[in-house]
Chains A and B, each alone.
Chain A
């Protein structure tokens, strides 16, 4: 009897304990829905919504970018008021990720059937997502007049196999930006023409002159030159090798016409010469760092920096007193900048296609692109906005406009771009660490071929 009594005495506590445990398991799951800190719900600001209209919230999976977030806040408000308030019932919430995690997040979201409506895809990834049916084919939803709104290169990057998968948010191109005070102190008169790579090129003497190693220990206090890093994506680091070819040849193309063969394109003699020189700039000449910090130019870490025009936004916002000059980027045989930027795509599992389509059309329209420019200061892909901006009539933005028009090239076009870029980062990291450029180039071209093999099926 005694145990039974004791059990009965403790029974209420046992039940309470069980309930508490169950609650502790269930409560966080239940709360999860609206507590993701990376999600920012934008409230309807127009007040035009029809009381009988069911609200629709679009989920937009995108990169984490504070300036872009401000732009979208205004774009959403304008969208809700557009067409006489037709879309006032639509809200947009963002699921934002760092650049390095965005691609994986998109894959995971699609695979798990997460309620994502709009996807922000980097230009070269559009093909990959299109091939994998992540993005909806929007060819039939854009008229030729609408497509004429955007730069041709952007249309090309937003397309795969002749089908259109998403309008562009912006465009990009690079220049060589420099610290005017350091250049003046070194007595250099640079002009705007691009320097050339190579031991006998015009760049090396300039970068050596700008490099400062006060105690001569081989670890400069100021590096003369910088071309991105320490993450070695192809966006900037594949350019030198491609410029060592001429239009139409394998080196310049970087990959075969179908985007699936890298051997014979990535590892040509000219490309290897460029890789070897990149390595020498870091390890032998010590005019370029293997681990540059953020804002290397503004912090005085480097005297020259290859970067896209968004650096001007950083200059205005954070370093307004910095004296910055600009010139065309360095090259071997053929000048080149890599073009392309973000595109808006509609996820294949969206349940709000009409609203998502209307939103991305608006965001990429003259009005949406103007708002984006206002906050982000990145070169617009929208032709009307681009042509209307006075900034692009004067230096330094006129330089980037001219260079873009004459020498802009998309990054390599391949459905295996994602795999290629991951392998390129590995390749370049090994190069910077002192690996044999020729061996590495051949090995990685082979690995890229293998990674692209599945797209032949």
Chain B
């Protein structure tokens, strides 16, 4: 009896302690959970619901249409498919550039020289600058007639170019602006990764006769696998969600050359009053992003070195 009573008391005490600890932990994460629930998951659920309706901001939920919006998007809407193609081209141009440039910049900015902190900060400044402000400034710099860049080209005897008003050049120009804006973020992630690589590995490789290039390929890159995976996935998500520079600089034009998926969704929702249909497009884009991200993670998954 005495033993049983002791065990019961002990079990009861441990449970009470665990419950309080879990309760405290829950309270700590509660604000973040509420934030996620209210501002992330609730809108997602709500958007899915809206996607099943003929819904507009002004007209409200007019008619339940089931999956008609999805059928329309996937079988009839050539402009949605076009916007997906533009988005894919944007991502194909943007992601490798960001990852490679970020890696090179990270290696460079990790060198133990004086002033490297300043250089890292310099590269990171565009990340913390408002995208709208950045876009406005780039718009002025890239103006065909009075832009700084063409002024410079003209001064050195080169012809002026059309950047944002040219069907051929507009998308590459936006990729360039986006890479410039975002590369600092990826660089900082990779710098953190580089600092986690033990010096011993480099010393061992050096003793084995590996030159700088071999050390980079055989030590640095494999050791950064997880960081590179993160940077690749995040960059892909950024690429698929690009909106601000298109909204500010090209409005999806000229001739839909920069009409990426998110901008197209915005147009359908706010310019054409088709919020239900735009919600369906958003859900499709979400599924595409999840598939792409999972595919990337599977491809890049490997044993730790």
With contact pairs A25-B35, A111-B57, A219-B145 given, residues A426 and B28 touching in the complex (Cβ less than 8 Å) = no
Closest to B62 in A: A457
Contacts of A454 in B (CB 8 A): 273
Cα separation A105 to B270 with both chains bound (whole Å): 10
CB proximity of B76 to chain A, nearest CB, Å: 11
Q: Is the CB of B20 within 8 A of A301?
A: no
Q: Is the CB of A433 within 8 A of B167?
A: yes
Contacts of A111 in B (CB 8 A): 57-58, 60
Q: Is the CB of A230 within 8 A of B165?
A: yes
Flag whether B36 is at the interface (Cβ < 8 A). Answer: no
Contacts of B251 in A (CB 8 A): 231, 425-426, 429
Q: Is the CB of A25 within 8 A of B34?
A: yes
Contacts of A419 in B (CB 8 A): 271-273
Q: Is the CB of A25 within 8 A of B160?
A: no
Flag whether B126 is at the interface (Cβ < 8 A). Answer: no
The residues in B between 257 and 299 inclusive whose CB is less than 8 angstroms from any CB of A are 257, 267, 270-273
Cα separation A55 to B251 with both chains bound (whole Å): 43
Contact stretch, chosen from A234-242, A253-261, A287-295, A338-346 = A287-295
Cα separation A18 to B254 with both chains bound (whole Å): 51
Contacts of A110 in B (CB 8 A): 57-58
Cα separation A400 to B24 with both chains bound (whole Å): 73
Cα separation A21 to B254 with both chains bound (whole Å): 47
Q: Is the CB of B58 within 8 A of A133?
A: yes
CB proximity of B268 to chain A, nearest CB, Å: 10
Cα separation A7 to B251 with both chains bound (whole Å): 57
Closest to A223 in B: B145
Interface size on A, residues (CB 8 A): 43
Q: Mark A113-136, 1 if CB is under 8 A from B, else 0.
A: 000000000000000000011100
Flag whether B144 is at the interface (Cβ < 8 A). Answer: yes
Closest to A18 in B: B27
Interface size on B, residues (CB 8 A): 40
Partner pick for B58 among A107, A422, A451, CB 8 A cutoff: A107
CB proximity of B43 to chain A, nearest CB, Å: 13
Cα separation A417 to B290 with both chains bound (whole Å): 37
Q: Mark A5-40, 1 if CB is under 8 A from B, else 0.
A: 001000000100110011011000000000000000
The residues in B between 234 and 261 inclusive whose CB is less than 8 angstroms from any CB of A are 251-257
Cα separation A3 to B162 with both chains bound (whole Å): 69
Cα separation A13 to B40 with both chains bound (whole Å): 30
Cα separation A443 to B16 with both chains bound (whole Å): 71
Flag whether A434 is at the interface (Cβ < 8 A). Answer: yes
Closest to B34 in A: A25
Q: Is the CB of B144 within 8 A of A291?
A: yes
Q: Mark A404-436, 1 if CB is under 8 A from B, else 0.
A: 000000000000001100100110011011110
Q: Is the CB of A432 within 8 A of B165?
A: yes
Cα separation A230 to B60 with both chains bound (whole Å): 34
Partner pick for A429 among B17, B34, B160, B253, CB 8 A cutoff: B253
Flag whether B15 is at the interface (Cβ < 8 A). Answer: no
Contacts of A430 in B (CB 8 A): 167, 253-256
Flag whether A354 is at the interface (Cβ < 8 A). Answer: no
Contacts of A290 in B (CB 8 A): 144, 162, 165
Flag whether A104 is at the interface (Cβ < 8 A). Answer: yes
With contact pairs A230-B165, A430-B253 given, residues A219 and B160 touching in the complex (Cβ less than 8 Å) = yes
Flag whether B59 is at the interface (Cβ < 8 A). Answer: yes
Partner pick for B255 among A7, A21, A134, A435, CB 8 A cutoff: A435
Flag whether A217 is at the interface (Cβ < 8 A). Answer: yes
Contacts of A107 in B (CB 8 A): 57-58, 270, 273
Partner pick for A289 among B34, B145, B252, B256, CB 8 A cutoff: B145
| Centre residue among B20, B30, B56, B271 by max chain A CB count within 10 A | B271
Q: Is the CB of A429 within 8 A of B255?
A: yes
Q: Is the CB of B17 within 8 A of A4?
A: yes
Cα separation A255 to B17 with both chains bound (whole Å): 75
Contacts of A18 in B (CB 8 A): 24, 27-28, 30
CB proximity of A229 to chain B, nearest CB, Å: 10
Q: Mark B156-188, 1 if CB is under 8 A from A, else 0.
A: 000110101111000000000000000000000
Q: Is the CB of B31 within 8 A of A24?
A: yes
Contacts of A104 in B (CB 8 A): 270
Q: Is the CB of B31 within 8 A of A21?
A: yes
Q: Is the CB of B17 within 8 A of A3?
A: yes
Cα separation A432 to B144 with both chains bound (whole Å): 13
Flag whether B21 is at the interface (Cβ < 8 A). Answer: yes
CB proximity of A310 to chain B, nearest CB, Å: 23
Q: Mark A322-339, 1 if CB is under 8 A from B, else 0.
A: 000000000000000000
Flag whether B110 is at the interface (Cβ < 8 A). Answer: no
Closest to A217 in B: B159
Contacts of B60 in A (CB 8 A): 111
CB proximity of A326 to chain B, nearest CB, Å: 24
Flag whether B220 is at the interface (Cβ < 8 A). Answer: no
Contacts of B165 in A (CB 8 A): 230, 290-291, 429, 432-433
Cα separation A204 to B240 with both chains bound (whole Å): 45
Contacts of B34 in A (CB 8 A): 25
Flag whether A393 is at the interface (Cβ < 8 A). Answer: no
Q: Is the CB of A108 within 8 A of B160?
A: no
Contacts of A230 in B (CB 8 A): 165
Q: Is the CB of A7 within 8 A of B166?
A: no
Cα separation A3 to B31 with both chains bound (whole Å): 26
Contacts of A24 in B (CB 8 A): 31
Q: Is the CB of B254 within 8 A of A433?
A: yes
Contacts of B257 in A (CB 8 A): 433
Q: Is the CB of B58 within 8 A of A134?
A: yes
Cα separation A306 to B150 with both chains bound (whole Å): 26
| Centre residue among B58, B60, B144, B273 by max chain A CB count within 10 A | B58
Q: Is the CB of B272 within 8 A of A422?
A: yes
The residues in A between 343 and 401 inclusive whose CB is less than 8 angstroms from any CB of B are none
| Centre residue among A24, A435, A454 by max chain B CB count within 10 A | A454
CB proximity of A380 to chain B, nearest CB, Å: 31
Flag whether B118 is at the interface (Cβ < 8 A). Answer: no
Flag whether B146 is at the interface (Cβ < 8 A). Answer: yes
Closest to A302 in B: B145
Cα separation A4 to B21 with both chains bound (whole Å): 10
Closest to A422 in B: B271
Question: Chain B residues in contact with chain A, CB under 8 A?
Answer: 17, 20-21, 24, 27-28, 30-31, 34-35, 56-60, 143-146, 150, 154, 159-160, 162, 164-167, 251-257, 267, 270-273
Q: Could you write out 5 A-B pairs with CB less than 8 Å apart?
A: A14-B24, A231-B251, A419-B272, A422-B267, A433-B257
Q: What 6 pairs across the A-B complex have the smallest Cβ distances?
A: A433-B254, A111-B57, A430-B255, A429-B253, A132-B58, A422-B271
